[in-house]
Amino acid sequence: MANEWLERWREGRIGFHRETVHPALLRHWPALDVAAGGKVLVPLCGKSLDMRWLVEQGHPVLGIELSSEAIEQFVSEGAGEVSRYRQGHFDVCRQASIELWCGDFFHFHIDQAHEIGVFYDRAALIALPPAARQRYAFHMAQLLLPGARGLLISLTHGSGPDKGPPYSVDHAEVQRLLSPNFELTLLEERPPDERRWRESVWSLVRRGPGRE
């Protein structure tokens, strides 16, 4: 899985990347009622322009991405000086209010997440194969304190083999993976697009007791 992801970035096969801010983020982020200044965790962030939009709303961003190619493209397409340093298992690039941590999301530790109170998952859960999604859901729960809020965008496909990424993650699986540790609210379900993908948007609130 990791090697395939890195190869996609090296070869420029990044059809999943959006050249505009995701419309669902624009529609639903205000409803989370997150105070300005809350740091947003964006797992498996790629070079998403959504991160720049979040900064414009007053939120520092911490993005985690396996591909150094994605990170270098992001900072080269941005403005401002870039500082670089090492943090645990990660090489970190910082540009303005955005920190991009290059490495395996599962190596991101609780101690490194103490400032995180908000998260945004546009392409993380749906980028992972079935065997990794349970681990992802548990790891997210361990990183966040009770009351932490987030926005999740999931995709389901009507039929055919699931050869992702992106993978089809239906409502039942979202509930099974996340409801033990998060209060879930389905905010929106879009009609299928031309490729028969149906997009759903969820708000999440971390239940107690929080980190262990």
Cα–Cα distances in angstroms (integers) from residue 37 to residues 3, 118, 205, in the given order: 35, 10, 18
Do the annotations mark residue 173 as ligand-binding?
Answer: no
Phi-psi label, residue 118: left if phi above 0, alpha if psi -120 to 50, beta otherwise: beta
The b-or-e profile of 105-122 (16+ CB within 10 A means b, else e) is beebeeebbeebbbbbbb
Torsion of CA 48, 53, 54, 60, to 10 degrees: 90
Strand order in the sheet with 39-43: 82-87, 90-95, 98-102, 61-65, 39-43, 116-121, 149-157, 197-206, 182-189
Instruction: Judge whether 182 and 204 are in contact, CB under 8 Å.
Output: yes
Do the annotations mark residue 41 as ligand-binding?
Answer: no
Instruction: Judge whether 98 and 51 are in contact, CB under 8 Å.
Output: yes
- From the centroid of its chain, how far is CA 168? 16
Do the annotations mark residue 56 as ligand-binding?
Answer: no
Do the annotations mark residue 44 as ligand-binding?
Answer: yes
User: Binding site residues, as ranges?
Assistant: 9, 44, 65, 122
User: Binding site residues for S-adenosyl-L-methionine, as ranges?
Assistant: 9, 44, 65, 122
